[in-house]
Copies of this chain bind each other. A is one copy, B any other.
Amino acid sequence: MKKSALQKARAAYQPKLPIVLTGAVKAVTGNPTESVADQDEIKKLFPNTYGLPELKFEKNSTPAPNKPINVGVILSGGQAPGGHNVICGLFDGIKKIHRDSRLFGFLMGPGGFVDHKYIELTAPIIDEYRNTGGFDIIGSGRTKLEKEDQFDKGLEILKELDIKALIIIGGDDSNTNAAVLAEYYKKINAGVQVIGCPKTIDGDLKNDQIETSFGFDTATKVYSEVIGNVQRDCNSAKKYWHFIKLMGRSASHIALECALQTQPNVCIISEEVESKNQTLQDVVNYIADTVARRAAEGNNFGTVLIPEGLIEFIPAVKKLIAELNDLLAAKAEEFAAAGDAAEQRQWVIGQLSAENAATYESLPLGVARQLTLDRDPHGNVQVSLIETEKLLSEMVAKRLQVMAEEGNYVGKFAALHHFFGYEGRCADPSNFDADYCYALGFNAACLINAGVTGYMSSVRNLVKPSVQWIAGGIPITMMMNMERRNGELKPVIQKALVRLDGAPFQKFASQRADWALNTCYVYPGPIQYFGPAEVCDQPSMTLRYEHQSK
């Protein structure tokens, strides 16, 4: 297999471990824990794994004699930079426990576990993937692991391979399912430990115990690199407004981090839009005002960052989508029979509540129509198909026309559009993510050796140099609360949205007026691996501001 020069050079990088994990360790046990909310319900649902103590690893003077152990690993959900290093750390960790330990990787996500598709991950394979991006070592998938027959089916292959511990690398949903699986295996005395690892570029799996999920650092650095490049182009040509949509539907951490790194003229934060009960037109007016104020100073150019999930956070649009989902599920045939596009539109308006009909009529024709067409297998609107960046620039152009007629805008408005997502999910991990992921995997091996189940691998103190990081385990039930999902109340890990009272947002909010009017672009450039520490080893600004505020 042909490799680039960087692939070859990067293969030699030795990720740094927390000093505590470099020798023999002992697990120090804290007090029993409680879930963040709904303690009674969670406790009832997890009788065997609720209330476990936090664990922290400390140096041990005498290494314990250890036996070989067979371990399975699953990559679950969307790719995130560093996944390979979790697996490499895990491999090195179980080999350190005993050189006859073996690691099995289930193929293409949880589906491979249920269907018994796997490979053994041997040293030559592992060495091919050290410090690389992507999940291609075993692939990933989105099969949800949540039913007992799946658990039983998986247990067959675990027994066959004599696997005593399963590591699930995934986001909040996958780790929720890891906890359910741990509880089930404990209940039936399956003799299999289940450990989770916090993965997601979206940054929405974090809490008092988990400082950040892996992949967020690298992905936001890649997006910030290309946003910076686009901003430099914007500031050179001085004739375009660039509308840049960023991946991440359920929270705006990515957009916020990129804004902190690049200082665009506008960045929309979905959580703020929702909290202020803003309409789509409010968002449009805000952008148009910024365009007009810059134009008044002769600057007919700028940049706007838009989180992919914006549309779903706008309260009025959210209500409209909910009613449309119900309406079109109930009366699909009547809708189809209503006639051509214009007649279908009229039919929809007639059926909707007055409030939602008004929202529907306020949307550009194309978007309104899209909301009534493509539906996912559950019959829901496919919001991800809406090109929010084009929708916004189109509405901004219309608004500017009105403002021009009213004498409130003189300028030229030309827009270009970008969507950054797939560019960052499989990038080579930054030094931070390479170290963090390797530590998470190595630490997971220590948790296996400590005999626990239902824990998430935890590495903390991340703003400090990696040797000072703190390693241990957090009971997953501790992060849970009850939430309604698809109409059912379920125990889930609380999703971390952008906190409007948090330090990262506050920092952004205190500077955005300056960034809007003046041109304060910062150009982060590409991720560097070999240079000075201040260039190569800095964690995300989100993490740094959150840490400073503690």
Contact = CB atoms under 8 A, between A and B. Distances in A.
A535 interface: yes
A532 B9 CA distance: 8
A100 interface: no
A191 interface: no
A249 B472 CA distance: 55
Given A139-B238, A416-B422, A525 B233 contact: no
Copy number in the complex reads 2
Nearest to A532: B9
B226 A520 contact: no
A217 interface: no
Contacts of A4: 228, 261, 522-525
Contacts of A426: 229-230, 232-233, 236
Interface in A98-112: 108
Interface stretch (A128-136, A164-172, A375-383): A128-136
A424 interface: yes
Nearest to A526: B526
A242 interface: yes
A140 B527 CA distance: 28
A528 interface: yes
Interface in A492-546: 520, 522-532, 534-535, 538
A133 B526 CA distance: 12
A423 B232 contact: no
A-B pairs, 6 with minimum CB distance: A530-B531, A526-B526, A232-B426, A134-B232, A6-B525, A135-B236
A538 B523 CA distance: 24
A164 B2 CA distance: 52
Given A79-B233, A528-B530, A263 B2 contact: yes
Contact of A428 (B3, B79, B132, B523): B523
Given A136-B232, A236-B79, A520 B423 contact: no
Interface string A215-247: 000000010011011101101111000100000
A426 to B, nearest CB: 4
B108 A523 contact: no
A206 interface: no
A418 interface: yes
A426 B303 CA distance: 15
Contacts of A424: 229
Interface in A364-417: 416
A415 to B, nearest CB: 12
A535 B9 CA distance: 7
Contact of A229 (B139, B422, B525): B422
A134 B236 contact: yes
B139 A236 contact: yes
A110 to B, nearest CB: 14
A525 B10 contact: yes
B136 A236 contact: yes
- Of the candidates A422, A423, A535, the one having the most CB atoms from chain B within 10 angstroms of its own CB is A422
